[in-house]
Amino acid sequence: MSVESYANNLINSGAVGAVAVVAWNGGMWFKSNNWDPGGPDLVNAFTNKQSVVVQNVKYALMQVTEDRYVAKNVQGSGAVVMAMVPPNKGLVVAWASPEAEVTLAYTEVAKTAAAISKVI
């Protein structure tokens, strides 16, 4: 399968509403038509363990490890969830709606990142 196929499967799972697959240099391998998250800003937030602004919405960092990132908007605009595409190839980034179960969203994003690591 392709990066696009894995990303679309993640969206179709219903766990997230939008997806981007970002290279470490900030380039985009894939992004949903309904989302323009800005690759360099995402990589910077992940690597420096910082909050991130996506499409003029700030997401406050809630949880971060060397391969996981979860940030939520305090006004209730959802969450940004990231997982590293091992080994250090890039990130799978997803937006989860305010109603979404963030733990499920992260689990699905991490599975997608692991699968994508085999094709890039």
Cα 53-59-65 angle, rounded to 5 deg: 105
Whose tokens are 């894939």? That residue is 30
pLDDT, tens only, 19-43: 999 999 999 999 999 888 988 999 9
Phi-psi region of 58 (alpha: psi -120 to 50; beta: other; left: phi over 0): beta
pLDDT score, position 22: 96
Which CATH number is correct for 3-116, 3.30.930.10, 3.30.70.2860, 3.40.50.880, 3.30.450.30? 3.30.450.30
Q: Which residues lie closer than 8 Å to 1 by C-beta, 6 or more apart?
A: 9, 115, 119
Stretch 4-8: mean pLDDT, rounded? 95
CA trace torsion 21, 114, 86, 55 (10° rounding): 20
pTM attached to this predicted model: 0.94
Beta pairing class for 79-85 and 90-96: antiparallel
